[in-house]
Structure 1
Amino acid sequence: MTKFSKEFRMKLIKEVEQGESLNSVARKYGVGGATLKRWYSNFSHGGTKQLVSTKKHYTQEFKIYAIEYRWQHDLSYRLAAIELGIPNDGVLHQWEKRYLECGVSGLLTKKKGRPPKMPKKPEPPKRDLTREEQLEAEIAQLRMENAYLKKLNALVQEREKSKRKTK
């Protein structure tokens, strides 16, 4: 959820398009001048769609492309973000910083949240059982069920005996 609604942003942009200055509209509504300037640039470059764009996931290839595009065309972060449809130029700055510090691996998407405490057990490879092995497995399963039912029956009988003694 954004702090300012789409309708509010459009209202401010319409006032700027009607001839008021960016700074006067920003002061009038209590919005930062740089914020309004970014909204206006996004709107003038990509319309309403880019104004309210909130895309949050980008591929590693797109991040590299965005950084190289900025370098090749010698653009500011703001202009490069506007041309590439990135809603906030600070994101592009963070990508470039990580790229320069860690290389391509710094642009990989990282999993969020706490890592699991217990490592996952690797699953044993499944193989097709022969008919004899299937029958042996079924016999073992039936023996376990039989032993469980005997134990359950013994516990139930023991509980009934204790109820009779207490009465």
Structure 2
Amino acid sequence: MTKISKEIKYEAMVEYFYGSKSRKYIREKYGFHRMALSMLINGFRTFGSDVLFNPPKVNAEFRIKLTEWKIRNNASYTQVAEKFGYLGLFQISQWEKIYRQNGPNGLLSLKKGRKPKMTKPKKNHQELTPEQNKIRQLEQENLELRIKNKALKLLASMKQPIDKKHKYYANSRPNLD
């Protein structure tokens, strides 16, 4: 399912409410899922364009309040959108599932975003003795000095003439003035 921009959703709502087009027409023209369109219409009816451009701030308190209200009132997703102005169908269903399994505390520890697919390898953070730290520091210094030494040698070789043959030809050119 493709994501529909806020601007396109707004255009669809204007066309629905002020252009007197049917839900079926709007759904087919803009590619809405049936439930997503119903939620958008109900949220837009109550909150206007704020439902799209100024949605409610989602935090633990909001998740708990929304989920408890939905469960207590046996409310549909469209009723939730109308009451809270929140259109995240998938998130609401996940919050309800977590709430039913773990209670309100389960919604307190949710983190925003997806879990990473690849994890970073764990580094061995072993405590080093002062002697090992000194050795590591000296090895690093040694490496830096070797790199600087090679760079200086390369620079010095670039400043010297290539060979005497070229030097001779450079000095023995006839003067054409």
Q: TM-score, normalised by structure 1?
A: 0.57
Higher RCO by CA contacts (8 Å cutoff, separation 6 or greater): 2
CA positional deviation for 1:43: 1.2
Where does structure 1 differ by over 6 angstroms across 4 or more consecutive aligned residues?
Answer: none
Deviation at 1:21, TM superposition (A): 0.9
Quote how far apart the aligned CAs of 1:84 are. Answer: 1.6
Residue 99 (structure 2) aligns with: 99
Separation in 1, partners of 2:83, 2:122: 43
CA distance in 2, matches of 1:11, 1:67: 30
TM-score (normalizing by structure 2):
0.55
- State the SS of the aligned residue for 1:4: coil
**Structure 2 letter corresponding to 1:84:** F
Q: Using the alignment, how far apart are the partners of 2:26 and 2:88 within structure 1? A: 21
Q: How many residues align?
A: 128
Q: How does 1:125-144 map to 2 (within 5 A)?
A: none
Structure 1 unaligned regions, length at least 5:
122-143
For 1:41, the aligned partner's letter is N
Shift of 1:95: 0.8
Q: How big is each residue's C-alpha offset from its partner over 1:120-162, in whole Å with a ceiling of 9 and x where there is no partner?
A: 79xxxxxxxxxxxxxxxxxxxxxx9xxx8xx98xx89xx8xxx
TM-superposition CA deviations, 1:98-119 (whole Å, max 9, x none):
1212233422124844377248
| Structure 1 counterpart of 2:110 | 109
Alpha-carbon distance in structure 2 between the residues aligned to 1:119 and 1:100: 40
Q: Percent identity?
A: 30
Q: Distance in 1 between matches of 2:30 and 2:101?
A: 40
Larger gyration radius, structure 1 or structure 2: 2
User: What is the one-letter code of the residue matched to 1:31?
Assistant: F
Tell me, which stretches of 5 or more residues in structure 2 are unaligned?
A: 127-133, 154-177
Q: CA deviation at 1:50?
A: 0.8
Residues 115, 101 of structure 1: alpha-carbon distance in 2 compared, 3 angstrom cutoff: farther
1:11-90 aligned at under 5 Å gives the runs 11-17=11-17, 18-53=19-54, 57-59=58-60, 61-90=61-90
Q: Secondary structure at the match of 2:71?
A: helix
